[in-house]
Amino acid sequence: MAPGLAPVLASMAPIRRALCVAITVYGLVLLVRVIMSWLRPPVSGPMRAAWELVHDVTEPVLTPVRGIIPAAGGIDFSPLLVFVILAVLQSVICF
């Protein structure tokens, strides 16, 4: 490693850690979204609010991915591609 690069990488450590945490948390929220897709949504109450929050957080990422991989046989593969992308990002950023 170049001598001038070590301080730069050291100063980026908090940013990298924050990105790693964000990727992990988003992956967990996406996993909750996948599990929720197997259930009936609640009609009202705090569970409905949580349901909508998970949907609102994941849908902006899943919608463009659905344009790349349309559902096949009624199965939505977009979360699978997003999980792969998150894994690649995590391997690059969180070394």
Residue range 27-71, pLDDT digits in tens = 999 999 999 999 999 999 999 999 999 999 999 999 999 999 988
Work out how many domains the chain is built from and give that number.
1
Rounded to an integer, what distance in angstroms lies between the CA atom of residue 6 and that of residue 21? 22
Q: Is residue 64 part of a domain?
A: yes
Q: Which domain holds residue 75?
A: 19-93
The H or E element that residue 26 is part of is helix 13-36
User: What's residue 95's pLDDT?
Assistant: 75
Q: Is residue 4 part of a domain?
A: no
Q: Is residue 24 part of a domain?
A: yes
Q: Is residue 40 part of a domain?
A: yes
Q: Is residue 72 part of a domain?
A: yes
Rounded to an integer, what distance in angstroms lies between the CA atom of residue 67 and that of residue 8? 38
Kindly indicate the confidence band of residue 13, based on its pLDDT and cuts at 50, 70 and 90: confident
- Position 9 pLDDT exceeds 90: no
- Position 12 pLDDT exceeds 70: yes
Rounded to an integer, what distance in angstroms lies between the CA atom of residue 49 and that of residue 89? 30
Rounded to an integer, what distance in angstroms lies between the CA atom of residue 90 and that of residue 94? 5
Indicate the pTM of the whole model.
0.84
